[in-house]
Structure 1
Amino acid sequence: MFKALLAATLLSAASFAAHAQAPYPSRPITMIYPYPAGGAGDTTARALAEQMSKRLGQPIIVDNRPGASGIIGTSAGARANPDGYTILITLAQSVLNNQFLFKKLPYNPGKDFSFITEVCSASLLLTANPSIPVKTVPELLAWGKAHRINYGSWGVGSYGHLTGAYLADLKRLDLVHVAYKGEAPMVQDLIGGQINVAFASLATVKPFAEGGKLRVLAVAGERRLPGFPDVPTLAEAGLPQPEFKPTGSFMMLVPSATPPEIRSRLEETARASIASKEFQERIAALGLVPIGNSAKDARANYESLYPVQKRLVELSGASLD
């Protein structure tokens, strides 16, 4: 009896040891996306999960956990077991702007996460209703000296809100911010003339610009877009300040205590997946630009944007508490 019990104990211990030493990954992985299903971000997460799953040999399940401007899902990602079986893919706002928009967060973005890569960036276009007599950024600035400009954004603290507030201060313009609950209603009011200008995504703007219902003045970021090769960047249009360079990016992170070898495996796999033809074709249709940089560069970009976004939030007076 004793020998049988001892044998069973040893067998169980051996099984546990074998399982503990199994190469990563040996079971399904959860990818948290802290926003609702549907839309460009959710599509990006699922496209990346599909490509990474092929390379890792395990299913990757996208878990939508929306709420509180991304805080609920991002907090879940920070508190997850640091074993590589829970990863977070999120908009930059939840790990960058939120710490300036909220007095308290249940996570510290700079300390609680290790960066894996920046997945892609959203192409944001400065767009105007054709009823105002401007076709370029200099013309908009000149027109704004004599007219009040109503500008829209998809929410308080968003890129469009903060950039507009900075532009008003920089050029001493009378810009009135109108916040919407999402991009779709904002663009509808832009088409209808209730607002004069707004930043909006390529995927949303393109059909209306091609149909003459909207006019594209400039592109946020550091390069022109293939879909609008004649449209200058904001820097080319006379706004070279760093506050105009950030775009909406998607980041992949894991809890900071995740072992280095697992982080390296995820980084290698994510970057190969982002570079794949299948992934790039999928996100190109959404107007997204692939990045797939190193973990070191992703962290460096976060740190460079930190003071810029902090200044923008403080200048705008935006708060979500």
Structure 2
Amino acid sequence: MRRFAHFVRPWLPSHRCRSSFSGSTKMIRRFILKFAAAFLALFAAGGAACADDYPSRPITLVAPFPPGGALDLIARALAQKLQEQWGQTVVVDNRSGAAGIIGTTQVARSAPDGYTILLGATTTHGINPSLYKSLQYDAVADFEPVSLVATIPHLLVVNPGLPVHTFGDFVKLAKEKTLPFGSAGIGSPHHLAGEMLKSQLHLNLQHIPYKGSAPAMTAVMSGETAFMSVEVTAASQYIKAGKMRPIAVAAAKRLPTIDVPTFAEVGLPGFEVTAWYAIFAPKGTPRPIVDKLSQALAKAVHAKDVQTRFASLDATPVGSTPDELRRYVDSEIKRWAQAVKAANVSMD
């Protein structure tokens, strides 16, 4: 409301004349305040009316990574449940490339009407803001947080031929000799997790980047590298086949499917590396629409069939509020900024 008063101030009587027109000035100010209040009420009513009609046409859910991965599978599970709830088509659009930047930028530049939304992730909204100095989008300023929908923790896995059965064994060996570790690429969560271990425990580690997590895991299994930090979803089948040995899980709690201790249990409290997935809308999307989306997503992730689907990915359903997601993203940006700095990497 102060902006309205500031706008009309040049047209108010000068200081020398204010005593003569004090009554008129008060009337003008009252008029401005009433006008501003009416305008804000009308704006809020308009947003609520939009939410009542939403969605009235198909929605595009942009997945900024290729088909077949965990993010894509989570996007398709959510799209199906939203479609069932609303009776409107929800199309998953895979716009992959450049560490999720292409698809994320597209959504940032879309109309803020709730009909183009994004399934963002650790990379797009946690790591990229620090890794790219000239990022084409602002992870905070260009988006409305909607809901954190799922998380998948990382595991520390080693080649089964190594004399490493516990985290203590791993630390001891990494202090005696240089251990090569693989990742899905420079600046990926797999890379930064290894760099965090290196800096926090003063280990002798050498990073070898690969073009994706699949070839990086192949390198661990073949003995080309000694270990890596990788999502449970990707590693689980190889662990069951005895091709990788799990050492610790980078989560607050133990996994129900793979019996290994958390990093906190082995003496490294606070060491958590999580692949997380969250829905974002373009900045300026009306709050009533954001809230309606968030509530629908919370219902979706707690549906029995979605929970079964998530369990097959070793993913934990969340379904947060917009404000909870906002705080989570802020904390993740700060945490990964420290990791990027410790690794001394930049993609610019």
| TM-score (ref. length: structure 1) | 0.90
Match of 1:232 among 261, 283, 288: 261
Q: Which runs of 5+ in 1 are unaligned?
A: 1-18
**1:246 and 2:273 correspond:** yes
Alignment match, 1:108: 138
Larger Rg: 2
**Secondary structure of the structure 1 residue equivalent to 2:186:** coil
Contact 2:51 2:289 in 1 (8 A): no
Match of 1:58 among 78, 88, 111: 88
Structure 1 CA distance for aligned equivalents of residues 50 and 141 of structure 2: 27
How far off is 1:153 after superposition?
A: 1.0
How far off is 1:167 after superposition?
A: 1.4
Contact 1:70 1:94 in 2 (8 A): yes
Alignment match, 1:143: 173
How far off is 1:20 after superposition?
A: 7.6
Alignment match, 1:210: 240
Structure 2 CA distance for aligned equivalents of residues 225 and 115 of structure 1: 28
**1:39 and 2:69 correspond:** yes
Contact 1:138 1:238 in 2 (8 A): no
**Secondary structure of the structure 1 residue equivalent to 2:146:** strand
Structure 2 CA distance for aligned equivalents of residues 174 and 156 of structure 1: 18
Contact 1:91 1:249 in 2 (8 A): yes
Structure 2 CA distance for aligned equivalents of residues 39 and 135 of structure 1: 29
**Secondary structure of the structure 1 residue equivalent to 2:320:** coil
Q: How does 1:267-286 map to 2 (within 5 A)?
A: 267-286=294-313
Alignment match, 2:25: none
Alignment match, 2:342: 315
Alignment match, 2:290: 263
Alignment match, 1:301: 328
How far off is 1:124 after superposition?
A: 1.5
Alignment match, 2:114: 84
Aligned residue type for 1:88: L
How far off is 1:208 after superposition?
A: 2.1
Contact 2:297 2:319 in 1 (8 A): yes
User: Deviating runs (4+, > 6 A) in structure 1?
Assistant: 19-22
Q: Which runs of 5+ in 2 are unaligned?
A: 1-48
How far off is 1:22 after superposition?
A: 7.0
Contact 1:221 1:246 in 2 (8 A): yes
Contact 2:129 2:333 in 1 (8 A): no
Q: Deviations over 1:45-79 (max 9, x none)?
A: 01100001111221101111111111111011111
How far off is 1:224 after superposition?
A: 1.1
How far off is 1:204 after superposition?
A: 2.8
Query: In the comparison of the two structures, how many residue pairs are matched?
Result: 300
Contact 2:147 2:280 in 1 (8 A): yes
Structure 2 CA distance for aligned equivalents of residues 246 and 94 of structure 1: 15
Identity percentage of aligned residues:
37
Alignment match, 1:125: 155
**Secondary structure of the structure 2 residue equivalent to 1:184:** helix
Structure 2 CA distance for aligned equivalents of residues 73 and 211 of structure 1: 35
**265-274 vs 209-218, which deviates more?**
209-218
Distance 1:133 1:75, change over 3 A: same
Structure 1 CA distance for aligned equivalents of residues 234 and 287 of structure 2: 39
Aligned residue type for 1:318: V
Structure 1 CA distance for aligned equivalents of residues 78 and 52 of structure 2: 24
After superposition, the CA RMSD in angstroms is: 1.6
Contact 1:35 1:70 in 2 (8 A): yes
Contact 1:274 1:291 in 2 (8 A): yes
How far off is 1:260 after superposition?
A: 0.9
Structure 2 CA distance for aligned equivalents of residues 50 and 127 of structure 1: 34
**59-68 vs 299-308, which deviates more?**
299-308
Structure 1 CA distance for aligned equivalents of residues 240 and 61 of structure 2: 36
| TM-score (ref. length: structure 2) | 0.83
Q: Deviations over 1:13-67 (max 9, x none)?
A: xxxxxx9897111111111111112221111101100001111221101111111
Structure 2 CA distance for aligned equivalents of residues 259 and 142 of structure 1: 54
